[in-house]
Amino acid sequence: MFSNKQCFQQAFLKKLEMTYGKSFRESTIYDQYHTLGNMVREYISSNWIATNEKQRSSHIKQVYYLSIEFLLGKLLGQNLTNLGIREVVREGLQELGIDLEDMEGIEADAGLGNGGLGRLAACFLDSLASSNLPGHGCGIRYKHGLFDQKIVDGFQVELPEQWLRHGNAWEVRKVDEAVEISFWGEVETLYDKGRLTFRHIHSETIMAVPYDIPVIGYQTPVVNTLRLWNAEPSRFPVHKDVMEYKRDTESVSEFLYPDDTHEDGKVLRLKQQYFLVSASLQSIVLSHRKTYGTLKNFHEKVAIHINDTHPVLAIPELMRILMDEEHMGWDEAWTITTNTISYTNHTTLSEALEKWSVHLFQPLLPRIYMIVQEINERFCKQLWESYPGDWRKIEQMAIIAHDMVKMAHLALVGSYRVNGVAKLHTEILKNREMKDFYEVYPEKFNNKTNGITHRRWLLKANPQLSSAITDAIGSSWVHHPSDLEKLMPYAFDSGFKETIKRVRQERKTILAEIIQCQTGIIIDDTSIFDVQVKRLHAYKRQLLNVLHIMYLYNRLKEEKSFEIYPRTFIFGAKASPGYYYAKKIIKLINSLADKVNNDPQTSPFLKVVFLENYRVSLAEYVFPAADVSEQISTASKEASGTGNMKFMMNGALTIGTLDGANVEIFERVGSDNMFIFGLTAEEVLHYEQNGGYRSNDYYHYDKRIQQVLEQLLNGFFPNSFDLFESIYDSLLMQNDQYYVLRDFGSYTLAQEKVNTAYQSQETWLEKSIINTAQSGYFSSDRTIREYADEIWGIRSLEQGTFV
């Protein structure tokens, strides 16, 4: 079917006619897209089945990655790339007058995530399959993914996202594998053959129906599964309004919560979490029992990983199944559970640590709550033995305290491994945030520095750079990304540098066209593209970037002799709809863009662009075009970051703080190839412990700061009235929690170095090539190999024995 373009064309036309009962001439691009999608799915279906059977019959251990978010983006292009048929398809379609990129363009992004956490899960799926590892994803099939962002008068407006509007070519509904999830009701205690047993009665049930999406590895027959659960009515209750029941049920998988950095506390969110966990565990247990006939070896054959605490109820849910359904005793069930589940922590921000009120938790999940209580009691007893009399410590470490259930504590107690996502982050967990737990369970803690799939973020997103690399060093880097290091000598090869220069220019021109289409702003595609794209959050400090641009503008206006190399500052960011401060920053960026872009005196040197609706598919055009990568979070606040890695891999130079994985980028490229500034994590933590920071001092003694802060209020931005007062107040009245003013001076100096360095094009290109060459470590293939070897204990299917 895909062996050459003629075969492909024939199969394509036949399939199109048979499916839609239309001739090719009458068909729409959506008909054509779905035809191709279905062909690809059929093409891999035998490998998909074979992978399942092979994984089952070989009795190798499997891992299930539970995540409340999977930020997949578009799948068609990635699947064609991984199958190695993108060129055949492109040529075949071209002869029919269809542009493959147009077709890929109409596919909706699967935006079932907010940002880094969900995107990490998606990268991991790709790396698992491409490494022939038996690893599957479990998530929720949200009807509406992350909202679409529109900018109206400079303000963010949110619209519901509708990725399923034209159907989803990749999913397969498996209604015969549906399971029931129970909420509310009571727990009945009874004696059965002399032992205490528990039954959840009078509950309300929801049907969880799985939709399976194939996860196609790169040049391998392995096809793993991402199982997304859809909430549907099960048995209609007699005593309740039928329509209301249907609405309530379906609401469980209706919306993705638009924030993963704020603890929310809404009962629907807890329902979603248990829905995901219970459906996934029931189906994993069913499949395990089918293969082995027992659950006694569950932990030897299954590893379950929880991505942050959102799926932490996997711990009590597995206990429930083993005790209430398998009739195991507590100790046996606990041994199995705590040898099955491992946990990744993603943040140290206290507002993001999940807690649930007992008053909300207990009625919704009565049996699960009982089990959590029992886990807590046993844990506190153990603590009492280690720390007799230290009730303060025990109170602080307890899973349930002051009528709150602390999800991170449950995860720490009930899992066998806990990891942070970058070296610095893991050290902060061990030495500060989770110090008490590290003392009790030192063996559980480990680090797994995040990664990104180089197949999407380099091979697919930047074919121009990928070809240049392959022409220079061969294609081994695609399978072994650490081979990118072979590029090191080419950093000083004038021919290669010339190629890279051309490639980089080509990518910048492509982005400039997208920007013009989307915003109407014409930018100089030879200017420095300085990019900050990521969720909008105070700790990520988009504000620092803005204040620096205002300062540049002021100097350009006031100092005749002041010159800079032309620069285009590009932003992309969604703010959570209820996060008013973040939304003000978006308005501020757009006001700044209006101001500087329309000033004929400065606009040849300075442009500001806000890209609407930042998402995976747009990101694939942004990273390849960036010269400068802004990674300027307050040190200690960004757990890892993965955007930083995508930029680096595509040859952008980082201006950043020593935070998250920036530290490890710095270890690899050194100070010649990166612009480091600002407080260190240690200095920030010292301020936080001992005080001593006064933002007002920086205002009073630094005229540059004084000027830009006054401009927030004094009409510098037309029609802004008191719009930006809350920003001004956060910096001066609330003592600038994220040290924006503290770091302003050193950021400015680092930016001056960027300005100078860019003008030595030859050495800038060297630095760019060195960044790409050193980026192989940040492939998620490396990350996944570490998880597989050091946490999950899983091994690859032998390719030779496959199919």
Q: Which residues are catalytic?
A: 346, 534-535, 540, 642, 646
Least distance CB 203 / ligand PLP (angstroms): 38
Least distance CB 485 / ligand PLP (angstroms): 23
Q: How many angstroms separate the CA atoms of 311 and 391, rounded?
A: 29
The stretch among 157-165, 300-308, 555-563, 642-650 that binds ligand PLP (CB under 6 A) is 642-650
- Confirm or reject binding of residue 641 to ligand PLP (CB under 6 A): yes
- Confirm or reject binding of residue 406 to ligand PLP (CB under 6 A): no
Q: Could you tell me which residues come within 8 angstroms of residue 416 by beta carbon, excluding any fewer than 6 positions away?
A: 338, 339, 340, 341, 342, 444
Residue 40, both tokens: 């690809």
Residue 245 or 610 having the CB closest to ligand PLP: 610
Q: Could you tell me which residues come within 8 angstroms of residue 162 by beta carbon, excluding any fewer than 6 positions away?
A: 108, 144
Q: How many angstroms separate the CA atoms of 359 and 364, rounded?
A: 9
Q: Decide if 415 contacts 336 (C-beta within 8 A).
A: no
Residue 380: CB atoms within 10 Å: 17
Least distance CB 123 / ligand PLP (angstroms): 9
What phi and psi values does residue 292 have, to the nearest 5 degrees? -110, -15
Bridge partners, 214 (sequence order):
225
Least distance CB 674 / ligand PLP (angstroms): 16
What angle, rounded to 10 degrees, do the helices at 86-95 and 76-83 form? 120
3-class DSSP state of 9: helix
Binders in 515-544 for ligand PLP, by CB under 6 A: 534-535
- Confirm or reject binding of residue 643 to ligand PLP (CB under 6 A): yes
Residue 221 or 641 having the CB closest to ligand PLP: 641
Residue 448 or 615 having the CB closest to ligand PLP: 615
Contacts with ligand PLP, 77-116, as mask; x by CB under 6 A: --------------------------------------xx
Least distance CB 648 / ligand PLP (angstroms): 12
The stretch among 57-65, 521-529, 640-648, 688-696 that binds ligand PLP (CB under 6 A) is 640-648
Residue 34 or 574 having the CB closest to ligand PLP: 574
- Confirm or reject binding of residue 678 to ligand PLP (CB under 6 A): no
Least distance CB 311 / ligand PLP (angstroms): 20
Residue 113 or 185 having the CB closest to ligand PLP: 113
Residue 28 DSSP symbol: -
Residue 144 or 595 having the CB closest to ligand PLP: 144
What phi and psi values does residue 518 have, to the nearest 5 degrees? -80, -40
Residue 375, both tokens: 């886990």
C-alpha closest to that of 571 among 135, 273, 149, 143: 149
Q: Among all residues, whose Cβ is closest to ligand PLP?
A: 643
C-alpha closest to that of 274 among 171, 398, 378, 407: 407
Residue 49, both tokens: 């089945």
Residue 203 or 542 having the CB closest to ligand PLP: 542
Distance from CA of residue 203 to its chain's centroid?
Answer: 35
C-alpha closest to that of 200 among 346, 45, 317: 317
First to last CA, the chain: 19
Residue 507, both tokens: 């990518």
Contacts with ligand PLP, 645-664, as mask; x by CB under 6 A: -x------------------
Residue 118 or 134 having the CB closest to ligand PLP: 118
Residue 231, both tokens: 């909430």
C-alpha closest to that of 706 among 543, 540, 551: 551
Least distance CB 456 / ligand PLP (angstroms): 9
Q: Could you tell me which residues come within 8 angstroms of residue 243 by beta carbon, excluding any fewer than 6 positions away?
A: none
Of positions 642, 711, 720, 768, contacts ligand PLP by CB under 6 A: 642
Size of the site for ligand PLP (CB under 6 A): 12
Residue 618, both tokens: 């747009």
The stretch among 191-199, 386-394, 638-646, 776-784 that binds ligand PLP (CB under 6 A) is 638-646
At position 102, the amino acid (one-letter code) is: D
- Confirm or reject binding of residue 139 to ligand PLP (CB under 6 A): no
At position 462, the amino acid (one-letter code) is: N
Least distance CB 453 / ligand PLP (angstroms): 11
Residue 363 or 577 having the CB closest to ligand PLP: 577
- Confirm or reject binding of residue 119 to ligand PLP (CB under 6 A): yes
Which class for 106: exposed (0-12), middle (13-18), buried (19 or more C-beta within 10 A)? middle
Least distance CB 532 / ligand PLP (angstroms): 8
Least distance CB 409 / ligand PLP (angstroms): 26
Residue 428 or 619 having the CB closest to ligand PLP: 619
Binders in 707-746 for ligand PLP, by CB under 6 A: none
Q: How many angstroms separate the CA atoms of 452 and 512, rounded?
A: 25
Least distance CB 22 / ligand PLP (angstroms): 36
Contacts with ligand PLP, 578-617, as mask; x by CB under 6 A: -------------------------------------xx-
Residue 98 or 740 having the CB closest to ligand PLP: 740
CA angle 12, 100, 228 (to 5 degrees): 80
Q: Could you tell me which residues come within 8 angstroms of residue 105 by beta carbon, excluding any fewer than 6 positions away?
A: none
| Rg of the Cα atoms in the chain | 27
Residue 666, both tokens: 């710095």
C-alpha closest to that of 220 among 51, 90, 22: 51
Residue 691, both tokens: 């005080």
Question: Tokens 């399976």 map to which residue?
Answer: 212
Least distance CB 744 / ligand PLP (angstroms): 21
C-alpha closest to that of 741 among 793, 795, 690, 699: 699
What angle, rounded to 10 degrees, do the helices at 761-773 and 494-519 form? 90
3-class DSSP state of 116: helix
Residue 132 or 642 having the CB closest to ligand PLP: 642
CA of 448: how far to CAs of 346, 483, 711, 783, in Å? 11, 21, 44, 6
What angle, rounded to 10 degrees, do the helices at 780-787 and 116-130 form? 80
Least distance CB 338 / ligand PLP (angstroms): 31
Q: Decide if 653 contacts 675 (C-beta within 8 A).
A: yes
Q: Can you give the binding site for ligand PLP, defined by CB under 6 A?
A: 115-116, 119, 534-535, 615-616, 619, 641-643, 646
